[in-house]
Amino acid sequence: MVKTKPGKYDVDSYTIKDTNTVVRAGDCVLIRLPSDTSSSRLLHSLARVENIVQDSMNSVGVRVRRYYRPEESIGGRRKFHGIKELFLSDQFDVQCADAIVGKVVVHSLKNYSKLENVGAEDYFCRFEYKATTGVFSPDRVAVYCKCEMPYNPDELMVQCEGCKDWFHPECLEMAVEEARRLEPFMCSECGLEKGGA
């Protein structure tokens, strides 16, 4: 349990203002950014609620661990970053609970990839991020295709029936529509091996 300052105590939940949505520790939320960041295109920050505290005046605050979007990180967005990708940072903050405007769901990459329909509230996270140094954990992930890029769930890939590797249609100089119709698919190396046998 987190120690709180005198006059403050932990509470189990908070109901978002003007809604019936209940927020608890461990939930992921959208937090309205202060108006002084109006130059930013971002209207909301995303964070994981660590704990909720209330003071003797019934003011409720939330201690959160911030998520970064790829474009907010050192190095910025890269080709393999998904549209809904987030990085769980080492940056903690305390916010007024009234700044919470909604809940989101942050999935693992594996679970996100299995979603049949990705909703507005769905995001995924595969990296932790040290905001001050720009270091990611893990610092290495599996790479695929001839381009040797990490998996991006927003891009179609086809799997070779022979070597079981995954490929981007554009790296095979193939149209996406053509790749969707392929069954089974054999990469050029496996196709040569099978044809030569």
Mean pLDDT of 171-191: 84
pLDDT of residue 39: 46
CA angle 77, 82, 87 (to 5 degrees): 70
Burial class (CB in 10 A: 0-12, 13-18, 19+), 133: exposed
Mean pLDDT of 110-134: 94
Coil, helix or strand at residue 123: strand
pLDDT above 90 for 92: yes
* CATH number of the structural domain 8-141: 2.30.30.490
pLDDT of residue 114: 92
For 48-73, the pLDDT digits (tens) are 999 999 988 889 999 999 999 999 99
pLDDT of residue 26: 96
Give me the residue spans of the domains in the chain.
8-141, 156-197
Q: Residue written as tokens 């990296």?
A: 127
Region of residue 148 (left: phi > 0; alpha: psi -120 to 50; beta: else): left
At residue 97 the predicted structure's pLDDT band, cuts being 50, 70 and 90, is very high
The residues pairing with 104 across neighbouring beta strands, listed in sequence order, are: 28
pLDDT above 50 for 196: no
Mean pLDDT of 118-142: 93
Mean pLDDT of 105-112: 96
CATH 3.30.530.20 is the classification of domain 156-197: no
For 22-48, the pLDDT digits (tens) are 999 999 999 998 764 444 456 789 999
pLDDT of residue 58: 83
pTM of the shown model? 0.80
